[in-house]
Structure 1
């Protein structure tokens, strides 16, 4: 008598399958537990004509493994699978010569092919042992080759997945695919795993490939994935969708392959940004050279103006003093002197050379830097709170450069308002702390951790190198630079330098 083992966890499905077998003159053994099924196969597998198994029995043993074990002890046994995963998964995991019965539930009907296989196995068991032993060896070879192929697909650097049916259910995804999407996908449909791709058009593309049988190939596709509690991540990929056909030529799935280009695209963008910044730096360097040349050329005309003003003062003294004219000449002389001082400081700051640490007073350095930074900005409200003065050991030009960067940033932080800036100093043991405080919007939480990183800037046209360079200068002086938000509004940047007697 034909004897079939039914391993089905759903009692109603198992009863329906049993009735069909018994109505066809077959005997049926029903188990609902994976361990019981495995035990029966070990004890009585050689006498079974067939196995009907649900591939998702649970308890660590699946239907695919039970069928493989039965074929090892009884290569003649017919095998039918109950699976919701469809033809694609069956083609990958099913034993040769098996049949797919259908998804659990719904009152499925056993196909005639399964009964034919059971009868053929039962009737030919005694006379086909030699042929079946050859088939057993062939099955083992096929299984080994399949496992080797799956191992290769798992380890390939490209991401690969196999989708089954018109609902696009994952039946395979390699390690690269799982790393890319950061979630488990096998057994679920694309829309279940990635509901966000619906609005990005990927479901429409999959439907078109499944309907028309035409490949979809794209380079540098941009898409985003949602992650709970994390900002949407944009990913760039090369992508191929290719239809999978059965022996009859019908489409039953889609093969997905691609490569993650995100790191390459981000590197390209960083290089492009760096190139633009280097061009900007070169332009600024050229402007610095021009400023130095202009300062040199303006020195002589200013000296001549100073001489003319002095001569005019002497003439007014000799030919009769006019207080109004004298006052105008005095103001002109003061303005010429101030212009000369500004040009002198600009030339000093644009001169190249090795750092020269020397003993110098801190207050003149700060005031000179403030004068240059506020040139052309009479609206700046500058306050001083110098609680610590005295001598420091620094490179004066470099420290003025740091102060110039900080004060200009404070002016720009004011936006359309009148800039209100406070420059302060205080003692800090053997160090002297200098601070520049503004009344702008402050430093945002996303910018604070990278405020001193190169090319990080919150300004639309900012280069993001001023603060990074300033921090490096202070560190070469043995000091520290810090940034914080004020309690009321605005930001405060401080640095320390070494005090000397």
Structure 2
């Protein structure tokens, strides 16, 4: 009968309430919990029985030890009384001798006789000394069997600090005084007694008695106590003075630690006090294993019973856990089969469906009852494909396995179709025999659609890359493998990485130490690459010329992570040959425009130049006419002739310098940048520009800062910019019709720092009417001019010249309150080191 099928017993009103509560609690437990408690109950009973045996043994043993301790205490008290009586008798005998000595009834010889009698009669008394009040030894007597080194010498009696204190105490108290046991490394411990001598009420010295503590223990302790216990004498610090104490046995410490220490009891010896203690230790004849054999037998049997019960309980628990694990595994597998999206189908050896999971039914729309037990053709086979699928099933049943599975169309119950991929594996039972075939089916309609879209996207991507007008190549770092190359790259360089590496090396888009050879085997081939470029993927651009192709290419590079995780470098090369040709043509046109601008400037300055040349030429003509006249008159001396000729030569040189400046200014030449001194450039420009300023009656003042660094420029172009700005300033002043004291142009050249860059700033300031807001916005545009006869290329050309030297140019009005008082044109050029780094 099962535990859950017990007949209900009617509750009796006479049954105790506790029993009813127990029965109700037991019936409320589950069967597995009842089995568990039923298995634990015997084990608990055995453990409780064993605990009761141990408690009883412990109680009896405690009682026995307590009785032993009580008997030891009585014996020690008895032995202490015997020693105390023995010491008291010796004290009384010494007091009688001291009284006789004090009454002078005993002289020195008589003292020696009586002392010798006491020493020979009592073994514990080792020596007896008579000391007068001055601490001088009058007489001393000791036993013949005692070695002299074990007794106090006369010097020790006189000088030892402890004896001095004892002597003074006996003198002050006028009573016998015991001292603490004295011992050194050379002598055995001795107990001292000093008895004061009274001579007619005055202190007459002491009698010093030396007692052997070893003999006092041996003769003062009853022999039965010495036979029963290990008796020792100890001082107040626990040091053994006489006797041999017991030591715990190593075997007993390992087997029974609580019995390793013997029973012991000690108490002070009167009348000495706490400085001398009598200690007794009880002997252990055995560990009690034989006498407690019954206890150990019960213990072993209890342990064996408990071990068997525990083993049975553990075996039962293992079986219960195995059943629970099997049930949990079954539930887990069932839940997993019902939750997966893969359809599962099992066939027996005849092709009959024996099992389908919920996913298979959900895919096909057929229920489990409609599929299980069906033979081919199956309901989910399309009508037009049944013969093909039947042949595939025959191949499947014959053991032909498709490693990658096979694809087929499946018909749902509602008539719709979907694509599926099936994987077949043999179904093996627990005995290793094949019982059928297990098939897993996955709906691949959506993956097929995504695959088609990816294929189309890849095809479009490939078409775009192949049709690009730029060469695209990707290669891993540190390898000669070419990961990708488009059509134009293959046309230019073929299908090898030679072209890719040539572009990388010639464009300099790899760091300088990336190709450094390494000699250590553990070094990485990518060591030395700039981590900032790799992590931030900053592209680098460079323009290079490929002689084999005869083309100029703009190369751009970027680091990227390839699909396999390797670090790769993508290089894009664009043909910029037409652009370079256009830039060269534009440069030539700009050069021609600069030359034309200089010619136009000199054309505008023609009258001023003619006036400037007319002065030295007129002076030459006058000097020549004067010399001719004076030669004809005969009034020209040799010194006057030399002076006139020197002045004539000076004016000729002056005219030649003007012509040389004009020729060098308007001469067409290729741009030639070199290190130039700023003061020389300014002086050349001022010399030519002052001619035009004089024509307009405008004063020119210039300031050049001292110790300016050199600049890397084309001096003629910078002179052209300065002359143009000074000429425009003079014309602005002339158009404004300023009075003579306000007709002034100022040129300043000073060093400055702009955006952490050292530059030289040139500024030309006039006192004209300034510029309108519209003119300020369009001032540097081509063909825009504020003058009616101007062409509008001067300032645009000046700005282009300054920017070609990595500089900037700007203009602004000068104000005095709301009134415009002039205009300031300024531009700056980097110093030589800054300009070289910018290039």
Class of the TM-score when normalised by the shorter of the 2 chains: 0.3 to 0.5
**Could you state the TM-score of these two structures normalised by the residue count of structure 2?**
0.22
Q: Specify which structure has the bigger relative contact order, considering alpha-carbon pairs within 8 angstroms and separated by 6 or more residues.
A: 1
Select the structure of larger CA radius of gyration. 2
Per the normalisation by structure 1, the TM-score is 0.36
